Each structure stands twice: as structure tokens, then as C-alpha cells.
Structure 1
């Protein structure tokens, strides 16, 4: 049975504790990174994005356009910093475009 605290917690604190207790942070990071990619890159890039995977601290993005892949490769560091800024924490260290 779950432990019960007599002190009052905010919903944010209760959810944070739940995520930590059940080790759900990595799964939430995967979903948050995918959402951040879609929000930051817009429809033009999303139309050519076929897969987004986060493995450890590396983000793998599969693109169906070699031209777009080449263009995005020039700004990898900026894309990583923008995604981390959007997420509010350093989740991504490297971006691999396939």
C-alpha cells in the first residue's frame, strides 16, 4: 500500500513524487522531446520527419529528405540548445540526423 503523509502537498509536488517513485522520468522525457521537436521545427520539417527517438542523451531523428538532413546538420548545436531550452533542462547532448 502507498505511504500516506499527514502534510499537505501541492499537486505539482505530488506528481513529481509519483514520477520519481515509479521511475517514469525517462519515459516522460521521450514524450516531451518528441513534442518539443514538433513544436520547434514546425510543419515544414515535421512533414519530412519519419521517426524521433531518444536513447540516453542522444536524439535520433529520421528524415525522408536528404536535402533537409544536410541543411539541419549545419545547425545541430543550435537545435540541441533550443530543444533543451524548450524542455527546461539538459536532456539532449547530441543530435543524430538519419
Structure 2
């Protein structure tokens, strides 16, 4: 006759333990929020990626349909950034680690 232990051993609980990062990732995937979180991360990292000088001449930054819209207060800066649009796009996507932004539009 086999006896059951009244309390599960400490080792049996370890199979239920999931690292916090994996749990949050699974939650974001389940609620389909990862894409929106990445968009918010791109907008929030605009100053860090582009630098303080460009951020000071930026009026508005938002994402819609995988396009990043940036409203600038300086026409010469707008022209410079249009010429470097590909590099801006690569730097922003590299910051997030995924290709979130497909196009950058300077307004």
C-alpha cells in the first residue's frame, strides 16, 4: 500500500514556475497587445534614438498602420531627415528589435 505525502514536495512546485519575462510575453501575446506596445516603445524612444537636437524640433510623433508620422518645426531639418529616411527607419526598428515601422512620414 502506497502512502501519499500530505504536502507536495518543493520540487513539484518548480514545474509550475515560469520566469516573469516569459509570463508577461505570453500575456501580451494572448491579448494581442505586443504590436501596440512596440508602437508605443518606438514613439517613446524617438528622443533617445534621434538625439536631443532633433527631439527639440519635433512637435508630434505617432504611429498609425505601421507608419511613423513625425511633425517637425524646422523645414531644413525635415529635408535632412527625408534624405536619411531609411537610416531613421532602421534605427527605430533596431531600438525595438522588430520591424514595427514600415514607413516614416515627415509632416
TM-score normalised according to structure 2 size = 0.80
Instruction: Judge which range, 63-72 or 22-31, deviates more.
Output: 22-31
Tell me the distance in 1 between the aligned counterparts of 2:35 and 2:61: 15
Answering whether residue 28 of structure 2 is matched by residue 19 of structure 1, we say yes
Unaligned runs of 5+ in 1: 1-5
CA-based RMSD: 1.3
After TM superposition, where is structure 1 displaced by more than 4 Å over at least 4 residues in a row?
Answer: none
Instruction: Judge which range, 15-24 or 70-79, deviates more.
Output: 15-24
How many residues get paired?
Answer: 93
**Partner of residue 89, structure 1:** 98
Tell me the distance in 2 between the aligned counterparts of 1:56 and 1:13: 27
1:26 positional shift? 2.9
TM-score normalised according to structure 1 size = 0.87
